[in-house]
């Protein structure tokens, strides 16, 4: 399954619309079906979403110019996992940062260097992708904020993904 989401959908009495959606999907398809997602850079991811989804990709441009490329990355990663029988293992770290979107333009610092670091981390053996969510600082939600994720190909590379996520989170902080 590949979901095309924004990442900052708030629903009255539910909070994260994306989390509620993936919770519902997972309850129907079980844990053996891979779920991939594509996110806007300004998404607010919950830990539950990260635990119920296998992999995701995030826009790497603000202003957004890479919507199609980001969806293609999500689909290619999903296809790779299916064809190679991979069991992706995401490492998700939520950071206590609320950033307004206009302070996270990707062509200038600090986002320019953070995205370069993410690309370096995802080039490591056993890593599928490294993603940064700036978050949507204007959302009135307990889970609003920035996060980083490094997704390992499988459990064998999980510690490497943890190390990469920690490096990326520290750099963002």
* Statement: residue 163 has pLDDT above 80: yes
pLDDT at 104: 83
| Residues 56-66, mean pLDDT to the nearest whole number | 94
Mean pLDDT of 126-144: 89
Q: Which of 135, 160, 173, 150 is nearest to 59 (CA)?
A: 135
- pLDDT confidence of residue 131: 98
Q: Residue 14 has what pLDDT?
A: 82
Per-residue pLDDT tens over the stretch 68-125: 999 999 999 999 999 999 999 999 999 998 887 777 889 888 999 999 999 999 999 9
Spatial separation of the C-alpha atoms in residues 147 and 156, rounded to whole Å: 23
Long-range CB contacts (< 8 A, 24+ apart) of 83-89?
A: 86/128, 86/153, 86/154, 87/54, 87/154, 87/155, 88/34, 88/54, 88/55, 88/128, 88/151, 88/152, 88/153, 88/154, 89/151, 89/152, 89/153, 89/154, 89/155, 89/157, 89/158, 89/161
Asked whether residue 139 carries a pLDDT value surpassing 90, the answer given is no
pLDDT score, position 70: 96
pLDDT at position 143: 85
Determine the angle formed by the axes of helices 111-122 and 158-172, rounding to 10 degrees.
170
| Token reading at 123 | 């080039």
For residue 141, what pLDDT is reported? 83
The mean pLDDT of the chain is 94
Q: Strand ranges (DSSP E) for 36-111?
A: 36-39, 55-58, 89-94
Q: What pTM was estimated for this model as a whole?
A: 0.94
User: What is the average pLDDT across 40-49?
Assistant: 93
3-state secondary structure of 168: helix
């Amino acid at each position: 399954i590949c979901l095309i989401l924004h990442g900052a959908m708030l629903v009255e009495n539910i909070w994260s619309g994306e989390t509620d959606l993936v919770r519902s999907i997972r309850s129907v398809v079980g844990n053996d079906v891979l779920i991939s997602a594509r996110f806007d850079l300004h998404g607010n991811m919950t830990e539950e979403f990260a635990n119920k989804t296998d992999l995701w990709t995030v826009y790497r441009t603000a202003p957004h110019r890479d919507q199609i490329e980001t969806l293609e990355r999500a689909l290619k990663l999903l296809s790779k996992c299916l064809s190679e029988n991979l069991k992706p293992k995401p490492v998700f770290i939520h950071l206590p940062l609320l950033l307004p979107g206009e302070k996270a333009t990707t062509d200038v610092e600090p986002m320019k260097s953070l995205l370069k670091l993410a690309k370096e981390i995802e080039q490591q053996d056993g890593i599928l992708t490294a993603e940064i969510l700036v978050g949507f600082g204007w959302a009135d939600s307990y889970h609003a904020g920035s996060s980083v994720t490094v997704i390992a190909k499988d459990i064998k590379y999980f510690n490497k993904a943890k190390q990469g996520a920690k490096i990326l989170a520290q750099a963002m902080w």
